Amino acid sequence: MVYRRILQGTGNLKKMKIAIINGPNLNLLGKREPEIYGNETFDDFFQELKKKYPAIELSHFQSNVEGELINELQKVGFSYDGIILNPGAYTHTSVAIGDAIASIKTTVIEVHLSNVNAREEFRKISHVSAKCKGSISGFGLKSYELALQYFYYLS
């Protein structure tokens, strides 16, 4: 909508609120398996995103605990313009996170740093993908920015 309003010249642009929610082990980016996940920390990347997209109010939450991720989805799921969710390994195990996504109003885009379909067989199973607007994987940290661009330009 924002992009359309810019193109249409209607002004009155509302500042978007987008939440990024990260699951288990994503607090170790930059240290954890850099050959798969890269060398940059999420905090450094997040600061770059905030500078690059000043018209978007970005928040970030990370937890290694499934219930805390569900609580955060429910907390922002009725008041934010979008959620970018990387459920990490809970993608493959958590029916509860999928149910939480289905229970909220806010659109959710699922992201993964690696191409989950090019990895182990169990990673090809997702309990959240079907509940999300879409999924982006395999582009490293750029996966988050691609999801952000969806909200900024296309939603």
State the distance between the two ends of the chain, measured CA to CA, in whole angstroms. Answer: 5
Clarify whether 37 is annotated catalytic: yes
Give the active site residue among 37, 90, 144, 152.
37
Give whole-number Cα distances, 139 to 2, 68, 99, 120, in Å.
Answer: 25, 26, 26, 18
List the alpha helices (DSSP H) in the chain: 2-8, 34-37, 42-52, 66-76, 95-103, 142-149
Give the active site residue among 112, 127, 144, 152.
112
Clarify whether 92 is annotated catalytic: no
Catalytic site residues?
37, 112
